[in-house]
């Protein structure tokens, strides 16, 4: 039996391993863990199970943490030689697979192939419109300054609560009170109306390979909107979709755009990876959207609708999303290009379930988008 | 702390919660035990219908203390969670003083003071819990409230006291047991999470769910309960559903079947009672199809 001192060291080493695996363990959390293990007791056959439960409760705070915790715990404590047998897999390893425009061009992808050709063919055209994908680093820097000129406003909704207003319905209580103050002398009539509150805005940014040229600009736009809307009392939630769903809201909360973008970039594991748009949208709707995040919200999807595999799932998922959202806005960077027709399968599948289809390839179109969102 | 407001061990938690009809697994019992021992709030997340709110009720019953519930919603603020002054009664009181001539001269200050008496204080859930403590304070669906409210709650939960400018500080003799539930519609702030013990409640396994049905709906026969739970468990894992049924739905379905006098689950009775289990038309179709396969086999 080890001494108490050694046990504490082992437990603290475990919290370090956990931190290395990406679980945000702070000192007070570690202290809480030690306190909890002391309370439940480490001895006896149930000791390991109790330590496990105590650690889960004190060190984790999201379902993602729980998965990592289980891996690290198994590797750390189940090792027979006293050393971890296998290193826990880093929780979010960037998927470096190139989005292959040609790789999956098997049967059923003829329409998709067509789109590549069209996109390539229209590139010349696009340069004139300052397509973001074709910009140099210096131009992008300049663009960052220009993004500051966008003035996003939150979309509004009417709430049940009412507030005093210049016109609207008669506010009997206030009118009477005012007249009482004048000893029953009829005073002027007071009015009230239903209060307006900002609607939630949810941004889903496709960061797959086919969108890689726009990803930087779109995140910048997401950051601009997050900052502008939250200062006006609104709420913006941002996710990236690709091969997996990443919650970016927190990363974009930083006021400094560059810092926020770096944080966002390191948080997204599937940068320029493949696309499983339908699947990730389903994950979003199941885990976040239906629970309330998308309810009554304005959902903006930035994607070219480029889907590997079957597009019926994509259509189905957008339908589900729209069933809970107030409005679904689809932003397709290819839409603004000359000669664009929504013939690509993914877009065809989602078109019936989308309220607005707007372009998203120049700053002017972003200004338009900001307007569409504000009026939604 | 008295013996009644804490558990002796995780096993004690299992036993005492079980006695109230809430059957929890060892992990959840450990968390409940720790929450009480360390005086930390419990933050419970999980699919709807897995018994997050029920745990708070069971805790209150097991500890034999009152349950105070605060349902959060968008725009909730301190006056709805903490306290408010009963304005009409204060006015009435003033009028009464006026009529009896009590509000003159030297009595003026006295009269003013009497306006902010505890009897004019409307205690809202958080204050009620602090006053009645030992109690269980359930803050339901905290994710629906705004960020500002979270910060406010954090303040109360860290000190277990409330300052009322006109009256002074009200502090709980023993901190109440606090249970927060969240549906994860938004990420809670780290500062709040840090203070809590976190637990994700999953759907129970087959045996436990059968036991839950047997304990919550004792009128349902053992064989029917086993069949119902078996089907529900297979639906959760094997079928793509908009909203997989939770334990609450399992209970509803078992009761519905029982009221129809069903002893053995068959296609006819189950499709008639499907409304208790799934709440989407698409799901109903899928479940009918799946039931067809399951019950035929």
Q: Average the pLDDT over B197-206 and give the result.
A: 91
Q: Decide if B125 is inside a domain.
A: no
- Given a contact cutoff of 8 angstroms between Cβ atoms, the answer to whether A253 and A228 are in contact is no
Q: Is B156 helix (H, G, I), strand (E, B) or coil?
A: helix
| Structure tokens, A66 | 């729980």
- Given a contact cutoff of 8 angstroms between Cβ atoms, the answer to whether B61 and B130 are in contact is no
**What is the distance between the alpha carbons of residues A28 and A39, in angstroms, rounded to a whole number?**
16
State whether B134 and B60 are in the same domain.
yes
Which has more pLDDT, A93 or A183? A183
**What is the distance between the alpha carbons of residues B179 and B28, in angstroms, rounded to a whole number?**
13
- pLDDT of B175 higher than 80: yes
Cα–Cα nearest to A369, from A335, A326, A337: A335
**What is the distance between the alpha carbons of residues A100 and A95, in angstroms, rounded to a whole number?**
13
**What is the distance between the alpha carbons of residues A335 and B133, in angstroms, rounded to a whole number?**
61
Using pLDDT thresholds of 50, 70 and 90, give the confidence band for residue A101. very low
**What is the distance between the alpha carbons of residues A368 and A331, in angstroms, rounded to a whole number?**
11
**What is the distance between the alpha carbons of residues A202 and A135, in angstroms, rounded to a whole number?**
27
**What is the distance between the alpha carbons of residues A9 and B12, in angstroms, rounded to a whole number?**
29
SS percent in chain A: helix, strand, coil, step 5: 50, 15, 35
- What single-letter DSSP state applies at residue A161? E
**What is the distance between the alpha carbons of residues B32 and B7, in angstroms, rounded to a whole number?**
8
Residue B297 confidence (pLDDT): 65
Considering only the C-alpha atoms of chain A, give the largest distance between any 2 of them, rounded to a whole number of Å: 91
Gyration radius from chain A CA atoms: 26
Residue A115's contacts (CB-CB under 8 Å, 6 or more residues apart) are: A306, A334, A343, A344
pLDDT tens per residue across span A48-69: 888 888 899 999 888 878 888 9
Residue A132 confidence (pLDDT): 55
| Structure tokens, A321 | 């999303």
Q: What angle do CA B220, B224, B229 make, to 5 degrees?
A: 100
Tell me which H or E stretch contains B177: strand B177-182
| Sign of CA pseudo-dihedral A257, A263, A266, A271 | negative
Cα–Cα nearest to B208, from B16, B25, B10, B17: B25
Q: Decide if B170 is inside a domain.
A: yes
Chain A nearest C-alpha distance from B129 (Å): 24
Q: What angle do CA B30, B35, B41 make, to 5 degrees?
A: 140
- Given a contact cutoff of 8 angstroms between Cβ atoms, the answer to whether B236 and B203 are in contact is yes
Q: Which class does domain A110-154+199-375 fall in?
A: alpha beta
- Given a contact cutoff of 8 angstroms between Cβ atoms, the answer to whether B252 and B270 are in contact is no
pLDDT tens per residue across span B7-29: 888 889 999 999 988 888 888 99
- Given a contact cutoff of 8 angstroms between Cβ atoms, the answer to whether A75 and A88 are in contact is yes
Using pLDDT thresholds of 50, 70 and 90, give the confidence band for residue A84. very low
State whether B106 and B148 are in the same domain.
no
CATH number, domain containing residue B158: 3.40.50.300
Q: What angle do CA A336, A338, A342 make, to 5 degrees?
A: 65
Question: A290 and B40 in contact by Cβ < 8 A?
Answer: no
State whether B138 and B272 are in the same domain.
no
- Given a contact cutoff of 8 angstroms between Cβ atoms, the answer to whether A7 and A43 are in contact is no
State whether B290 and B212 are in the same domain.
yes
**What is the distance between the alpha carbons of residues B142 and A149, in angstroms, rounded to a whole number?**
36
- Dihedral of the CA atoms B51, B55, B57, B62 (nearest 10)? 140
Chain A nearest C-alpha distance from B186 (Å): 7
State whether B184 and B141 are in the same domain.
yes
| Structure tokens, B277 | 């289990």
- Nearest CB to B30 within list A54, A159, A288: A54
Write out the residue limits of the CATH 3.40.50.410 domain(s) in chain A.
Answer: 110-154+199-375
Chain B nearest C-alpha distance from A26 (Å): 9
Q: Average the pLDDT over A248-273 and give the result.
A: 79
- Given a contact cutoff of 8 angstroms between Cβ atoms, the answer to whether A160 and A194 are in contact is yes
- Given a contact cutoff of 8 angstroms between Cβ atoms, the answer to whether A331 and A302 are in contact is yes
Chain A nearest C-alpha distance from B211 (Å): 22
Distance of CA B22 to the CA centre of its chain: 13
- B138 CB neighbour count, 10 Å cutoff: 27
Chain B nearest C-alpha distance from A355 (Å): 22
Helix (DSSP H) and strand (DSSP E) numbers for chain A: 14, 9
Question: B26 and A32 in contact by Cβ < 8 A?
Answer: no
Using pLDDT thresholds of 50, 70 and 90, give the confidence band for residue B89. confident
- What single-letter DSSP state applies at residue B162? E
- pLDDT of A118 higher than 60: no
Cβ of B254 under 8 Å from any chain A Cβ? Answer: no
Question: B194 and A26 in contact by Cβ < 8 A?
Answer: yes
Write down which residue in B164, B186, B201 finishes a domain.
B201
State whether B144 and B55 are in the same domain.
yes
Cα–Cα nearest to A311, from A128, A116, A108, A144: A108
**What is the distance between the alpha carbons of residues B95 and B103, in angstroms, rounded to a whole number?**
9
Question: B194 and A52 in contact by Cβ < 8 A?
Answer: no
State whether B171 and B60 are in the same domain.
yes
Q: Decide if B158 is inside a domain.
A: yes
Omega before residue A62 within 30° of 0, cis: no
Question: A32 and B143 in contact by Cβ < 8 A?
Answer: no
**What is the distance between the alpha carbons of residues A80 and A14, in angstroms, rounded to a whole number?**
16
Residue A1 confidence (pLDDT): 47
Residue A3 confidence (pLDDT): 53
| Structure tokens, A141 | 């820097």
Residue A374's contacts (CB-CB under 8 Å, 6 or more residues apart) are: A152, A153, A154, A155
Write down which residue in B201, B220, B244 finishes a domain.
B201
Q: Which residues of B touch A235 (CB under 8 A)?
A: 186
Sheet holding A156-165, edge to edge: A156-165, A191-198, A169-170
Cβ of B10 under 8 Å from any chain A Cβ? Answer: yes
State whether B109 and B181 are in the same domain.
no
Q: Average the pLDDT over A93-99 and give the result.
A: 35
**What is the distance between the alpha carbons of residues B59 and B244, in angstroms, rounded to a whole number?**
27
**What is the distance between the alpha carbons of residues A362 and A367, in angstroms, rounded to a whole number?**
9
* Phi, psi angles (nearest 5°) of residue B66: -70, 150
Using pLDDT thresholds of 50, 70 and 90, give the confidence band for residue B180. very high
**Interface TM-score (ipTM) > 0.95:** no
Using pLDDT thresholds of 50, 70 and 90, give the confidence band for residue A359. confident
Structural domain boundaries, residue B102: 83-119
- Given a contact cutoff of 8 angstroms between Cβ atoms, the answer to whether A68 and A88 are in contact is yes
Report how far apart, in Å, the C-alpha atoms of A318 and of each of A168, A206, A297, B68 are. Answer: 37, 14, 14, 40
State whether B100 and B113 are in the same domain.
yes
The model's pTM is 0.71
Question: B34 and A39 in contact by Cβ < 8 A?
Answer: yes
Question: B187 and A62 in contact by Cβ < 8 A?
Answer: yes
| Structure tokens, A308 | 């590997």
**What is the distance between the alpha carbons of residues A51 and A64, in angstroms, rounded to a whole number?**
19
pLDDT tens per residue across span B227-257: 999 999 999 888 888 888 999 999 999 999 9
Chain B interface mutation, best of A34, A57, A239, A321, highest count of B Cβ atoms under 10 Å:
A57
State whether B34 and B169 are in the same domain.
yes
* Phi, psi angles (nearest 5°) of residue A69: -60, -45
Q: How far apart are the first and last CA of chain A?
A: 66
* Phi, psi angles (nearest 5°) of residue B127: -65, -40
- Given a contact cutoff of 8 angstroms between Cβ atoms, the answer to whether B66 and B60 are in contact is yes
pLDDT tens per residue across span A120-175: 323 323 322 345 556 677 776 777 777 888 889 999 988 878 889 888 888 888 88
Question: B144 and A320 in contact by Cβ < 8 A?
Answer: no
State whether B228 and B271 are in the same domain.
yes
Among chain A residues, CA nearest to B9: A40
Structural domain count of chain B: 3
- pLDDT of A194 higher than 70: yes
Write down which residue in B178, B201, B224 finishes a domain.
B201
State whether B150 and B230 are in the same domain.
no
């Amino acid at each position: 039996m080890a001494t108490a001192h050694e046990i504490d060291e082992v437990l603290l080493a475990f919290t370090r391993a956990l931190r290395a695996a990406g679980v945000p363990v702070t000192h007070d959390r570690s202290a809480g863990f030690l306190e909890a293990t002391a309370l439940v007791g480490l001895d006896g056959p149930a000791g390991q199970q109790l330590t496990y439960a105590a650690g889960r409760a004190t060190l984790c705070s999201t379902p993602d943490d729980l998965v990592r915790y289980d891996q690290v715990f198994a590797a750390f404590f189940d090792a027979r030689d006293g050393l971890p047998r296998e290193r826990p897999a880093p929780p979010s390893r960037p998927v470096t697979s190139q989005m292959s425009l040609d790789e999956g061009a098997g049967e059923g992808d003829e329409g998709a192939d067509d789109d590549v050709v069209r996109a390539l063919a229209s590139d010349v055209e696009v340069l004139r419109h300052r397509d973001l994908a074709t910009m140099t680093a210096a131009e992008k820097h300049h663009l960052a300054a220009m993004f500051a000129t966008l003035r996003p406003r939150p979309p509004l909704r009417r709430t049940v609560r009412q507030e005093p207003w210049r016109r609207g319905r008669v506010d009997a209580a206030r009118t009477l009170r005012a007249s009482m103050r004048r000893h029953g002398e009829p005073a002027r009539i007071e009015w009230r109306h239903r209060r307006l509150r900002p609607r939630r805005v949810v941004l889903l940014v496709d960061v797959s390979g086919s969108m890689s040229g726009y990803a930087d600009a779109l995140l910048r736009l997401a950051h601009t909107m997050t900052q502008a809307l939250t200062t006006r009392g609104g709420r913006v939630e941002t996710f990236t979709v690709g091969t997996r769903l990443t919650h970016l809201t927190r990363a974009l909360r930083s006021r400094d755009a560059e810092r926020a973008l770096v944080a966002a970039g390191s948080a997204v594991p599937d940068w320029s990876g493949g696309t499983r748009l339908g699947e990730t949208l389903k994950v979003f709707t199941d885990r976040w959207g239906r629970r309330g995040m998308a309810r009554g919200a304005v959902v903006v999807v930035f994607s070219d609708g480029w889907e590997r595999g079957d597009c019926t799932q994509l259509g189905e998922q957008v339908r589900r999303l729209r069933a809970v959202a107030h409005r679904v806005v689809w932003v397709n960077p290819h839409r603004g290009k000359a000669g664009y027709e929504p013939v690509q399968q993914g877009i065809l599948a989602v078109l019936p379930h989308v309220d607005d289809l707007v372009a998203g390839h120049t700053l002017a179109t972003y200004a338009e988008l900001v307007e569409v969102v504000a009026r939604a | 702390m008295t013996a009644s407001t804490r558990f002796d061990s995780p096993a004690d938690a299992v036993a005492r919660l079980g006695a109230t009809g809430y059957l929890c697994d060892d992990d959840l019992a450990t968390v409940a035990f720790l929450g009480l021992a360390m005086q930390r709030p419990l933050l419970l997340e999980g699919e709807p219908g897995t018994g997050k709110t029920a745990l708070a009720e069971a805790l209150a019953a097991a500890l034999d203390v009152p349950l105070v519930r605060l349902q959060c919603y968008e725009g909730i603020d301190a006056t709805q969670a903490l306290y408010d002054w009963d304005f009409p009664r204060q006015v009435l009181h003033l009028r009464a003083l006026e009529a009896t001539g009590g509000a003159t001269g030297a009595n003026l200050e006295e009269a003013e003071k009497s306006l902010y008496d505890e009897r004019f204080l409307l205690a809202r859930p958080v204050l009620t819990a602090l006053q009645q403590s030992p109690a269980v304070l359930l803050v339901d669906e905290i994710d629906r409230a705004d960020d500002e409210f979270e910060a406010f709650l954090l303040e109360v939960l860290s000190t277990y006291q409330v300052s009322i400018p006109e009256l002074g500080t009200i502090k709980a003799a023993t901190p109440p047991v606090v249970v927060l539930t969240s549906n994860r519609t938004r990420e809670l702030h780290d500062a709040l999470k840090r203070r809590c013990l976190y637990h994700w409640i999953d759907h129970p396994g087959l045996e436990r769910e059968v036991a839950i049905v047997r304990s919550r709906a004792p009128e349902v026969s053992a064989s029917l309960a086993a069949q119902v739970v078996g089907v529900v468990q297979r639906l959760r894992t094997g079928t793509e559903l908009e909203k997989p049924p939770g334990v609450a739905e399992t209970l509803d379905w078992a009761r519905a079947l029982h009221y129809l006098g069903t002893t053995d689950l068959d296609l006819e009775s189950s499709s008639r009672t499907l409304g208790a289990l799934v709440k989407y038309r698409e799901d109903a179709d899928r479940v009918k199809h799946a039931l067809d396969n399951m019950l035929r086999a």
